[in-house]
């Protein structure tokens, strides 16, 4: 996965949603979002807060855990190095794809509200 390309996609998502993103600290943004989580044969949709910190070396995208999306089952933190991020301009969504032992192949679609 190309970290620079992922960062560019993440920044495009933030630029298009900057009126919905609230700045918490310099470089840390908070968004209320609709999430669609696809893995194996399951789809889970829910709403939660998303924190985006593009300059973070660790996990620049983090979902807040909810009852519908527990961290024991789902990945809630996403890294530019280990996942692929794509900004879908048609749906104004950030789409994150990955593959792990915990979940197998998965896709997370984030739409700011």
Quote the pLDDT of residue 65: 97
If pLDDT is split at 50, 70 and 90, which confidence band does 1 have? low
List of domains in the chain: 3-112 (2.30.29)
What backbone phi and psi angles, to 5 degrees, belong to 34? -95, 135
d(CA 93, CA 55): 20
Whole-model pTM? 0.93
Does residue 61 register a pLDDT over 70? yes
Largest distance between two CA atoms of the chain: 39
Q: How wide is the angle at C-alpha 60 spanned by C-alphas 98 and 3, nearest 5°?
A: 60
- pLDDT tens track for 80-105: 999 999 999 999 999 999 999 999 99
Running DSSP on this structure, what letter comes out for residue 79? -
Does residue 57 register a pLDDT over 80? no
């Amino acid at each position: 996965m190309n970290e620079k390309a992922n960062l560019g996609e993440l920044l495009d998502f933030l630029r298009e949603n900057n009126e919905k993103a609230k700045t918490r600290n310099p470089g840390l943004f908070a968004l209320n979002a609709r999430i669609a989580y696809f893995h194996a044969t399951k789809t889970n949709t829910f709403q939660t807060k998303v924190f985006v910190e593009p300059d973070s070396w660790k996990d620049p995208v983090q979902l807040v855990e909810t009852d519908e999306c527990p961290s024991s089952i789902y990945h809630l933190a996403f890294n530019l190095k280990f996942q692929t991020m794509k900004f879908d301009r048609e749906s104004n969504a950030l789409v994150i794809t990955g593959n792990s032992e915990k979940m197998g192949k998965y896709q997370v679609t984030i739409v700011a509200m």
